[in-house]
Amino acid sequence: MEFDTLLLSRLLTFLTLAFHIIFATIGVGLPIYICLTELIGIKRKDPHYNLLARRWARGYTILVAVGVVTGTIIGLQLSLLWPSFMQKAGHLIGLPLFLETFAFFFEAIFLGIYLYTWDRFSNPFFHWLLSIPVVIGSSASAFFISTVNAFMNTPRGFVIENGNFLNVQPLVAMFNPATPTKVAHVLTTAYLTTGFVLASVTAYFLLRGKSHVYYKKALHICMIGCLVFSFFTVLNGDFAGKFLAKYQPEKLAAAEWHFETETHAKLLLGGILDPDTLEVKYGIGIPAALSILAFNVPSAEVIGLNDFPRDLWPPLYIHYFFNIMIFTGMLLAAVSVIYFVCHYVKRLNQHHPWLLRFIFIGGPLAMLAIESGWIMTEVGRQPWILVGYMLTADGVTTAGEVFEMLILFLSLYLALAILVPVILVRLFSKKSAETELEKRGIIL
């Protein structure tokens, strides 16, 4: 049976990234919550916060282990599936790839020390200090790998001679025009998503009737993070829209089904596109909103897709993922605001079952937004693997065993998708928070 190598390679890369991004996102976001929670526990001499940090750190160790496996697979697949790309541009992205690996080792070393030195210091502040390198390492790892993706969207730092990338400037390649918005968005969404995942788990226990102060404190610290990072995520989303308008107008136009160049361009929400006539049905258009998003001016001209060759159009279905990302982000921000309105208005209850239900579904929705955002970003770059310089079809392998690789890695991901939740559930169900608090002589 004949298979399209390009399609299979893209599918395998998609599956790996989609699976890895779950663990990578939490791996970046969770250390900052562990760090802040332990600090609050030390400052307030509150054992509930100290236990929160301990329990989150245990789960984090398992997630990091799986993230390492899937991250290593991505590195291998870059060379195995996209050898022509690596041959041409490997020396341009080699520095951030090396630094990303270094950042991980830096994080792993201090994580091991952090985990095995609980209660080993007379002053707990010294133990907390060990969490700072873990936070730095995890966020630095995200920073460096994001610069690689940014480079693929706005390549810089080289000249082309006879089809070769010469006069390489690695730092220019790293700090390309896409880097600020890409890195900022990756970090803030990781912190936001992790906050909602943790809040979702806590809301589940509260809905089950576990109304102990431990769970209420856990929910509150998570929702503080959700509120803060939802604000920065919305702000970074605005910056990202302006970046696309300047450097990748075809991606913005495809995401908004904006075909004709015009002023006072409307922002399209929802809708169904007729692929033959390119007419949109059932969509909601907000007048001049796209012009404002792109240039902050209602009368600004926004370039339409018809100004680009049809064979270089990004897939138009990215509009749906763009909408999912936006709607979900706004919903999560609204839930965060409502929680704190209920917290500060005495007549309201921030632990109302309906609000807890929205917080509970906020975790899966935040992860859905992460997946949708990455699909919109990566698919929206097509048909380029390196925008303006190399088509995806020109970077793919010519080997014939991609289908076998797809089956092999799909089996691995399925096994991990089953094992990881089972391990986490068993880890925390065998030693519940109530049991640990009781052993420590702490009154709930």
Residue 143: enclosing H or E segment and its boundaries?
helix 131-153
- Which residue range is the domain that position 395 belongs to? 5-261+303-439
The mean pLDDT of the chain is: 85
Tokens for 273?
Answer: 């596109």
Residue 397 within a domain: yes
Please tell me the distance from the alpha carbon of residue 132 to that of residue 220, in angstroms, as a whole number.
Answer: 22
Number of structural domains found in the chain: 1
Residue 217 within a domain: yes
Residue 208 within a domain: yes
Position 302: which residue type?
V
- Maximum CA extent, the chain: 73
Residue 22 within a domain: yes
For range 136-148, the mean pLDDT: 90
Query: In the prediction, which pLDDT does 432 show?
Result: 62
The full DSSP string for 89-135 is: HHHHHHHHHHHHHHHHHHHHHHHHHHHTTTT-SSSHHHHHHTHHHHH
Q: Could you tell me what percentage of the chain is helix, strand and coil, using 3-state DSSP and rounding each to the nearest 5?
A: 70, 5, 20
Tokens for 224?
Answer: 């503080």
pTM of the model: 0.89
The share of the chain scoring above pLDDT 70, in percent, equals 96
Please tell me the distance from the alpha carbon of residue 371 to that of residue 330, in angstroms, as a whole number.
Answer: 16
Say whether pLDDT at 373 is over 80.
yes
Evaluate whether 353 touches 347 at the Cβ level (below 8 Å): no
Q: pLDDT tens-digit profile of 198-211?
A: 999 888 888 887 77
Q: pLDDT tens-digit profile of 278-293?
A: 787 887 888 888 888 8
Query: In the prediction, which pLDDT does 403 show?
Result: 83
Q: 434-438: list long-range contacts, CB under 8 Å, 24+ apart.
A: 434/210, 434/212, 434/214, 436/51, 436/54, 436/55, 437/47, 437/48, 437/51, 437/214
Please tell me the distance from the alpha carbon of residue 34 to that of residue 53, in angstroms, as a whole number.
Answer: 5
Please tell me the distance from the alpha carbon of residue 29 to that of residue 23, in angstroms, as a whole number.
Answer: 10
Q: Cis (ω within 30 of 0) for the bond into 383? A: yes
Residue 271 within a domain: no
Query: In the prediction, which pLDDT does 36 show?
Result: 92
Residue 308 within a domain: yes
Query: In the prediction, which pLDDT does 159 show?
Result: 84
Residue 295 within a domain: no
Q: Shortest CA distance to 195 belongs to which of 225, 220, 216, 217?
A: 225
Residue 393 within a domain: yes
